[in-house]
């Protein structure tokens, strides 16, 4: 990888909202180094072998647990401590290497992928990131070996997306210990061994590690879910649970930051796991469409079936490129990757769900049978746009952070008031001038291969338009833009589309430079198709910021709320 210092660089996506393209953050594409690649391929191969020949997802669903024997076997194969340092019994993989192995679980079974993700991506990760040496030595070896499973204990009956306002309370005692009271829900691995619990206290949010068997800790009744039925989803209760002082992660007041940073890391493996699932859906689609004959021809010969397979293939490439560019930001030491992580999660869960529905449609009634793998996948996958940050919340998060970064570069914005036209003219002048300059001199992604020059130019124009539309929204609505969620959605989706194109351009550049132009012709055609189709969608998102029916939507929404339902009879 390049030796550019990226540790002090701002978020790539925040810079997009300012009309800037920080090429050094995303170029060259972060390919695995050969030594780690060999290790990752061996671990991925071991996982693939076990999942194909030993693990039975149908039995796991019937038993409503992936199985203690499965956990033991995966631990013995070194698959439960993938990013944990070798000194604690783990594999010491990079974020990219870890997410590459996690892709194998997504290919096989959504429920097992979630159990693995809960244990590693968010359960073990707070201890790995924020534990001191004693805490790491105490818990990581057992977690890496699979002797114990970890849980991330955040969500509460009255607290979901608004994670700051927790009701679970921790009271610090004179000896430094904590008394914990409250209730959590929807906790994967909640009845297992090592629980990182988030609570509020007089000293701010805290992250406390609570071990199974602690007095006052209880779980259940277990949730009965639509899908992921092999995932142990629990209620967790704390009744005067005493937590030793040495079980505090970080310092008092660090808890919320620990929770959010853990989730930012955890969302990346969701992106690659869903990409793995999409590859399986595509495989099912091609197998069925080639074998199934209708009107004397295989289904794959019909354009509407072929289009679905082509769409899946293209979207897998885009999601894969986006996911591993994001993991590469972490591995390169970029400090702020929260927006890229959020966008990857949103795109993965959205396109994964669409790909599953397309595969389902090709199979017709066959897939609707309860014993078909796509039927199980349909139940399992529906949760992905909801958990680890609901997609609507993540879109607002991306847009508002981008707008905030832009507002900090525009100190005159606060002085703009609609009621003072004369004052507004002076404030709008630099906006208009800047708009002209950006239109004339859009910044281009540096270092891209000449064969994708057209796509690079298109991206630079989109970045300039994103800045223009974001600034227009900010100047028009001021602080009220925080309430304009339809605007936020369009800005976020446009930024995600731009980031995805950048990822694909960076990837195809790296592959072309490694393998040569002629050897990468087919991949480049796929990359170009993804960029062109995504650019069209970004264009629609940006245009709809100016031309839309939001006023009518608001009126209709108010009317249906007042009538409390559909109010029209024939």
320 classed as catalytic? no
Whether 6 is in a domain gets the answer no
pLDDT in tens, 353-367: 999 999 999 999 999
Mean pLDDT value across residues 518-541: 98
Residue 10, domain member (yes or no): no
In terms of domains, do 35 and 73 share one? yes
* pLDDT one-digit tens code per residue, 388-412: 889 999 999 999 999 999 999 887 7
Helices (H), 163-212: none
Q: What is the mean pLDDT of the chain?
A: 93
Name the pLDDT band for 439 (thresholds 50, 70, 90): low
5: pLDDT confidence band, cut at 50, 70 and 90?
low
Same domain, 302 and 417: no
Question: Residue 373, SS3?
Answer: helix
Given a cut of 50, whether residue 215 has pLDDT beyond it is yes
The pLDDT tens digits of the residues spanning 49-84 come to 999 999 999 999 999 999 999 999 999 999 999 999
pLDDT of 398: 97
User: Is the confidence at residue 20, as pLDDT, over 60?
Assistant: yes
**Are 142 and 156 contained in the same domain?**
no
SS3 200: strand
pLDDT in tens, 550-564: 999 999 999 999 999
Does some domain include residue 72?
A: yes
Q: Are residues 239 and 276 in the same domain?
A: no
462: tokens are: 């989109």
Asked if 195 and 288 sit in the same domain, the reply is no
Last residue of a domain, one of 125, 151, 177: 151
Check whether residue 371 and residue 291 sit in a common domain.
yes
pLDDT band at residue 323, thresholds of 50, 70 and 90? very high
Give tens-digit pLDDT for 222-234. Answer: 999 999 999 999 9
Query: What residue numbers bound the domain in which 102 lies?
Result: 30-151
d(CA 212, CA 260): 24
- Answer yes or no: do 196 and 215 share one domain: yes
Q: Is the pLDDT of residue 38 over 80?
A: yes
pLDDT tens per residue, range 473-509 = 999 998 899 999 999 999 999 999 999 999 999 999 9
Does residue 122 form part of some domain? yes
CATH number at residue 442: 1.20.140.10
Say if residue 268 is in the same domain as residue 376: yes
Torsion from C-alpha of 453, 459, 464, 470, nearest 10 degrees: 180
The confidence score (pLDDT) of residue 161 equals: 78
List 103, 320, 340, 388, catalytic entry: 388
In a domain, 433, yes or no: yes
Which of 391, 417, 441 finishes a domain? 391
With residue 490 as reference, give the H or E element that holds it. helix 485-515
Instruction: Produce one character per residue of 520-550: b if its CB has 16 or more CB atoms within 10 Å, e if not.
Output: beeebebbbbbbeebbeebbebbebbeeeee
Residues 145 and 157 in one domain: no
> What is the per-residue pLDDT for 430?
55
Do residue 45 and residue 165 come from a single domain?
no
Average pLDDT over residues 108-115: 97
Is 2 a member of any domain?
A: no
Residue count (the chain) = 570
| pLDDT for residue 433 | 56
Q: Is residue 298 part of a domain?
A: yes
CATH of the domain at 179: 2.40.110.10
For residues 239 and 215, is the Cβ–Cβ distance under 8 A?
Answer: no
- pLDDT at res. 423: 42
- Rounded distance, CA 267 to CA 384, Å? 10
Give yes or no: residues 168 and 236 share one domain.
yes
Please report whether residue 277 resides in a domain. yes
Distance CA 410, CA 468 (A): 13
Mean pLDDT on 153-179:
94
pLDDT of residue 419: 42
Does residue 248 share a domain with residue 201?
A: yes
Burial of 69 (0-12, 13-18, 19+ CB in 10 A): exposed
pLDDT confidence of residue 159: 87
At 412 the pLDDT is 72
Query: How far is 438 from 434, CA to CA, in rounded Å?
Result: 6
Residue with tokens 């199979």: 363
pLDDT at 10 over 90: no
Mean pLDDT over 4-11 rounds to 65
Pick the closest to residue 133 from 145, 141, 144 (CA basis): 141
Residue partners of 35: CB distance under 8 A and separation at least 6:
none
pLDDT digits (tens, 9 = 90+) for 364-384: 999 999 999 999 999 999 999
pLDDT at 265: 87
Q: Is the pLDDT of residue 1 over 50?
A: no
Is residue 78 within 8 Å of 134, Cβ to Cβ? no
Residue entry with tokens 């966008």: 343
Q: What is the DSSP letter of 247?
A: G
> Is residue 304 scored above 70 in pLDDT?
yes
Least confident of 4-8, 152-156, 242-246: 4-8
Domain boundary among 190, 225, 252: 252
Task: State how many domains the chain has.
Answer: 4
Q: 């910021």: which residue's tokens? A: 545
Q: Which pLDDT score, from 0 to 100, does residue 490 have?
A: 98
């Amino acid at each position: 990888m390049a030796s550019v210092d990226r540790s002090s660089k701002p978020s790539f996506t925040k810079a997009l909202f300012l009309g800037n393209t920080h090429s050094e953050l995303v170029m060259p594409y972060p390919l695995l180094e050969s030594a780690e690649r060999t290790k990752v391929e061996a671990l991925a191969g071991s996982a693939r072998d076990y999942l194909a020949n030993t693990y039975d997802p149908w039995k796991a669903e019937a038993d409503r647990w992936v199985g203690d024997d499965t956990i033991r076997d995966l631990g013995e194969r070194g698959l439960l401590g993938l990013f944990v340092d070798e000194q604690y019994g783990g594999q010491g993989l990079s974020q990219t290497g870890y997410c590459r192995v996690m892709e194998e679980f997504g290919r096989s079974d959504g429920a097992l992928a979630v159990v693995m993700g809960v244990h590693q991506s968010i359960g073990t990760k707070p201890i790995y990131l924020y534990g001191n040496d004693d805490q790491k030595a105490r818990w990581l070896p057992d977690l890496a070996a699979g002797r114990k499973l970890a849980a991330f204990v955040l969500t509460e009956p009255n607290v979901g997306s608004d994670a700051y306002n927790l009701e679970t309370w921790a009271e610090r005692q004179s000896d430094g210990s904590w008394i914990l009271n409250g209730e959590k829900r929807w906790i994967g691995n909640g009845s297992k061994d090592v629980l990182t619990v988030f609570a509020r206290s007089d000293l701010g949010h805290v992250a406390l590690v609570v071990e199974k068997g602690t007095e006052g800790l209880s779980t259940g009744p277990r949730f009965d879910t639509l899908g992921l039925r092999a995932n142990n989803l629990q209620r967790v209760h704390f009744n005067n649970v005493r937590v030793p002082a040495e079980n505090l992660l970080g310092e008092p007041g660090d808890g919320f930051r620990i929770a959010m940073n853990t989730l930012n890391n955890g969302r990346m493996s969701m992106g690659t796991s869903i990409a793995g699932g999409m590859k399986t859906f595509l495989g099912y689609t091609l197998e069925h469409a080639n074998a199934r004959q209708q009107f004397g021809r295989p289904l794959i010969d019909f354009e509407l079936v072929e289009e679905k397979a082509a769409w899946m293939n293209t979207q897998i490439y885009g999601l894969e490129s986006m996911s591993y560019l994001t993991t590469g930001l972490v591995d390169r030491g970029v400090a702020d990757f929260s927006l890229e992580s959020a966008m990857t999660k949103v795109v993965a869960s959205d396109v994964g769900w669409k790909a599953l529905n397309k595969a389902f449609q090709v199979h017709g009634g066959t897939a609707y049978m309860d014993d078909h793998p796509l039927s199980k996948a349909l139940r399992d996958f529906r949760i992905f746009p909801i958990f680890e940050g609901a997609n609507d919340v993540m879109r607002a998060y991306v847009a508002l952070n981008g707008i905030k970064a832009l507002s900090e570069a525009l100190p005159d914005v606060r002085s703009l008031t609609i009621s003072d036209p004369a004052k507004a003219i002076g404030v709008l002048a630099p906006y208009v001038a800047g708009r002209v300059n950006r239109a004339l001199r859009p910044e281009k992604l540096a270092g891209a291969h000449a064969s994708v020059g057209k796509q690079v130019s298109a991206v630079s124009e989109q970045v300039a338009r994103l800045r223009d539309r974001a600034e227009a929204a900010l100047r028009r609505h001021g602080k009220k833009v925080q309430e304009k969620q339809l605007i936020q959605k369009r800005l976020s989706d446009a930024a995600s589309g731009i980031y995805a194109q950048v990822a694909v351009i960076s990837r195809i550049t790296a592959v072309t430079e490694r393998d040569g132009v002629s050897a990468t012709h087919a991949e480049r055609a796929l990359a170009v198709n993804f960029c062109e189709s995504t650019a069209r969608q970004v264009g629609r998102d940006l245009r709809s910021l100016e031309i839309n029916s939001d006023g009518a939507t608001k009126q209709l929404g108010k009317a249906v709320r007042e009538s409390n339902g559909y109010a029209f009879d024939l």
